[in-house]
């Protein structure tokens, strides 16, 4: 069993742009407590949930296949209570706690096409029940009333791409209580109706990316993350690799629609990007490339009776031994008509090193590329419940980092002294998003996987988010591998409202995958 590592005193950036404040007394985030496993780059802290009944965090520790239960009754001094070994059921990917203080853990099987498992635990970590769900459940969540749990079952292919399970979403009915739970309470929704010969084939938008070798639509769709509407009726599911979102009616266990997210034009003012890690400078500019939003984290919120969802547009490609779509612009043959300045663009200081996908862009099938597509939007987006794009942050995140941490711009998450390292590949990588309501205002907390830290925006007007602050508990003078660089690689965020917080204050908890640490921020306003 790992012992708790004492609170590290590391450099904390709490940065605010004064001209853009949302209110006279803006939010600020201060580090209150920190639990560290002492494990570097082993996925020892991935997703975190909070059980108010025991005033404990439930943390996915992928390094040991455990759920680490950490008591935060004194949030300044988090203490490991126990590690629940769940390895007998698979490898844990996600954890959630319901409104009735029931914990659910999603685990994938060892076999590529093996059924996943959801394990239910009480506040002390005692096993209560298990059920099987779809292949590779990557995320689990509850409806607000706790009567149902849902899993996003990614169904990733084997490395040689000879086995490609179908992606799915499982709905677990808990209305009869966990003590009566059986496999009959589980419905797993696939997407076979959207296959080429399926009854709903015509409903699949052409822009949804279906491109795996010999894959059906059902095999190619890979559910990543789920957000449930505040009234518990709808589920919004990110299909990251497919650049799409699926919408489900929970009560009827029905896929209502699949929405293509379209593409971001990086040649339009306000949507630039830094495309090179070889120019030794910050250069956020307009380039003739298109971005695929490809969100990972998603969250819902309600303002003025209207429901919205917000996405963290991380981006992801398929890169397997049996199939890879990754390429660099310098390696590609560009159409001379579409790119008359191809030679200049392909220089390493321009677009040459930029990671693009080879699976798109040859629109006329002649072997050269007529358009270039990059993974991820380097942004966050806000949509109304009907899918209308309300706001897209453009290049705002990179611009803020350039202003606030210029010496560490687009650094990677496992090595200090890595200025500009990620500019050619998804930039800061917005990974997850969490919503908090404080003093009747709504805030979005956005975790940046690479440079680290959390960006905070006031989204009380969803069409015009206002930047509030940026908190990054990373020490850029430390040694990442030695554990002296603070928090690295935020993976999961959790907002704990003051009403259920152990100290009566609003808290933000961040699980950091690379540093294996979980940090508690107190939110002041």
CA distances to 102, 182, 260 from 298, rounded to whole Å, are 22, 29, 15
Report pLDDT digits (tens) over 161-186.
Answer: 999 999 999 999 999 999 999 999 99
pTM for this model (two decimals): 0.95
- The contacts of residue 132 (CB under 8 Å, 6+ apart) are 115, 116, 117, 118, 183, 186
Q: Which residues of the chain have pLDDT under 70?
A: 1-25
Q: How far apart (Å, rounded) are the C-alpha atoms in residues 452 and 512?
A: 9
pLDDT at site 295: 98
For 56-100, give the DSSP string. EEEEEETTTTEEEEEE-SSTTS-EEEEEEE-GGG-EEEEEEE-TT
Closest CA to 293 of 359, 221, 375: 375
Report pLDDT digits (tens) over 111-123.
Answer: 999 999 999 999 9
pLDDT at site 11: 42
The residue extents of the domains of the chain are: 13-316+376-524
Structural contact between residues 189 and 255, judged by C-beta atoms closer than 8 angstroms: yes
pLDDT at site 41: 97
Closest CA to 136 of 163, 175, 101, 173: 163
Residue 314: strand, helix, or coil: coil
Neighbouring-strand partners of residue 523:
29
pLDDT > 70 fraction of the chain, expressed in percent and rounded: 95
Q: How far apart (Å, rounded) are the C-alpha atoms in residues 455 and 284?
A: 19
CA distances to 45, 61, 100, 417 from 94, rounded to whole Å, are 11, 10, 18, 32
Q: How far apart (Å, rounded) are the C-alpha atoms in residues 485 and 512?
A: 12
* Architecture label for domain 13-316+376-524: 7 Propeller (2.130)
For 167-236, give the DSSP string. PEEEEEE-TT-GGG--GGGEEEE--GGGSTTSTTGGGS-TTS---STT--HHHH--EEEEEE-TTSSEEE
Q: How far apart (Å, rounded) are the C-alpha atoms in residues 366 and 300?
A: 43
């Amino acid at each position: 069993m790992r012992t708790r590592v004492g609170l590290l005193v590391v450099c904390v950036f709490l940065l605010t742009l004064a001209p853009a404040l949302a209110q006279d007394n803006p939010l600020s985030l201060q580090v209150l407590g920190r639990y560290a496993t002492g494990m570097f780059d082993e996925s020892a802290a991935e997703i975190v949930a909070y059980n108010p009944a025991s005033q404990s965090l439930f943390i996915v520790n992928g390094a040991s296949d455990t759920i680490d239960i950490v008591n935060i009754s004194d949030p300044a001094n988090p203490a490991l209570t126990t590690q629940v070994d769940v390895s007998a059921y698979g490898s844990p990917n996600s954890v959630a706690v319901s409104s009735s203080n029931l914990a659910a853990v999603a685990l994938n099987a060892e076999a590529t096409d093996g059924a996943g498992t959801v394990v239910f635990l009480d506040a002390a970590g005692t096993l209560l029940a298990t059920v099987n769900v779809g292949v590779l459940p990557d995320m689990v969540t509850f409806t607000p009333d706790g009567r149902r749990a849902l899993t996003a079952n990614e169904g990733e292919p084997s490395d040689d791409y000879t086995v490609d399970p179908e992606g799915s979403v499982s709905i677990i009915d808990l209305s009869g209580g966990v003590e009566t739970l059986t496999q009959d309470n589980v419905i797993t929704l696939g997407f076979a109706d959207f296959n080429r010969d399926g009854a709903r084939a015509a409903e699949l938008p052409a822009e949804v990316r279906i491109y795996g070798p010999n894959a059906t639509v059902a095999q190619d769709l890979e559910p990543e993350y789920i957000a449930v509407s505040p009234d518990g009726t709808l589920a919004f599911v990110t299909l990251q690799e497919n650049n799409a979102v699926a919408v489900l009616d929970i009560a009827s266990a029905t896929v209502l629609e699949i929405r293509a997210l379209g593409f971001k034009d990086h040649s339009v003012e306000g949507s630039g990007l830094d495309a090179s890690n070889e120019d030794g400078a910050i250069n956020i500019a307009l380039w003739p490339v298109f971005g695929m939003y490809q969100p990972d984290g998603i969250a819902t919120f309600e303002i003025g009776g209207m429901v919205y969802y917000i996405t963290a547009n991380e981006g992801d490609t398929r890169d397997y031994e049996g199939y890879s779509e990754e390429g660099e612009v310098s390696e590609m043959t560009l159409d001379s008509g579409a790119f008359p300045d191809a030679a200049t663009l392909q220089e390493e200081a321009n677009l040459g090193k930029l990671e693009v996908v080879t699976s798109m862009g040859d629109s006329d099938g002649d072997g050269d590329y007529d358009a270039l597509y990059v993974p991820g939007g380097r942004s966050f987006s806000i949509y109304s419940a009907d899918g209308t794009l309300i706001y897209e942050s453009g290049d705002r995140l990179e611009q803020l980092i350039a202003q606030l941490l210029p010496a560490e711009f687009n650094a990677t998450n496992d090595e200090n002294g890595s200025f500009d390292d990620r500019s050619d590949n998804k930039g800061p990588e917005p990974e997850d998003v969490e919503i908090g309501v404080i003093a009747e205002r709504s805030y979005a907390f956005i975790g940046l996987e690479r440079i680290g830290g959390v960006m905070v925006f006031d989204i009380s007007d969803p069409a015009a988010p206002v930047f509030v602050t940026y908190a990054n508990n990373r020490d850029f003078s430390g040694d990442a591998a030695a554990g002296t660089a603070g928090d690295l690689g935020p993976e999961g965020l959790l907002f704990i409202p003051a009403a259920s917080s152990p100290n009566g204050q609003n808290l933000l908890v961040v699980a950091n995958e690379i540093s294996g640490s979980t940090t508690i921020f107190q939110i002041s306003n």
